[in-house]
């Protein structure tokens, strides 16, 4: 996993090749920030800073409090697909944050489909197994 993170850091300045489609009215509940609840069967502590943000222009940003990840994506209805390559910064972080970032990047990397279900953002792998669940971020 460490080698994977370093490889992602090496592409820090790369442009993401995927084409993104803008959200239309049917995705009005999707853009915004979502806080992680479950990442690869790991229950995320409620006080964590792990989140993903989907922008209306098709940009996705994610982080756990130290490094940041970003990509582009396409969306059809309430299903996200065709994510581009994931770029990530590679700063040294404390061990707990590094573990959280590893889990987040792994979840994003292995997710092939994202859907809004019962008010949660849920991602699935290529076999249709749940990879991650996120809840809408509540503003302070």
72-124 per-position pLDDT tens digit: 887 666 566 666 788 899 999 999 999 999 999 999 888 888 888 899 999 99
Tell me the whole-structure pTM to 2 decimals.
0.74
In 3D space, the residue among 59, 3, 5 whose CA is nearest the CA of residue 30 turns out to be 59
DSSP state of 122: E
Which tens digit of pLDDT belongs to each residue from 53-66?
988 888 989 999 99
Choose among 55, 53, 60: nearest CA to 36: 53
Residue-range domains of the chain with CATH: 2-136 (2.40.128.270)
DSSP conformation class of 4: H
Non-local CB neighbours of 47 within 8 Å, separated by 6+ positions: none
Q: Is 6 helix (H, G, I), strand (E, B) or coil?
A: helix
Tokens linked to 41:
């069967």
Spatial contact of 66 and 87, defined as CB atoms under 8 Å apart = no
Using DSSP bridges, classify how beta strands 120-124 and 32-39 pair: parallel, antiparallel or unpaired: unpaired
Banded model confidence at residue 33, pLDDT cuts 50, 70, 90: very high
Q: Which residues contact 15 (CB under 8 A, 6 or more apart)?
A: none
Q: Residue 99: enclosing H or E segment and its boundaries?
A: helix 95-110
Residue range 12-37: mean pLDDT, rounded: 52
């Amino acid at each position: 996993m460490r080698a994977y993170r370093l490889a992602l850091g090496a592409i820090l300045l790369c442009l993401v090749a995927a084409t993104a489609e803008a959200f239309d009215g049917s995705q009005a509940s999707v853009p915004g920030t979502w806080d992680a609840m479950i990442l690869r069967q790991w229950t995320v502590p409620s006080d964590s800073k792990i989140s993903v943000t989907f922008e209306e222009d098709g940009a996705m940003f994610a982080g756990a409090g130290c490094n940041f990840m970003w990509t582009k994506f396409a969306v059809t209805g309430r299903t996200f697909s065709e994510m581009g390559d994931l770029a990530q910064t590679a700063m040294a972080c404390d061990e707990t944050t590094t573990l959280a970032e590893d889990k987040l990047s792994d979840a994003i990397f292995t997710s092939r489909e994202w859907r809004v279900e019962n008010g949660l953002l849920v991602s699935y792998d290529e076999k249709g197994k749940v990879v991650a669940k996120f809840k809408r971020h509540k503003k302070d």
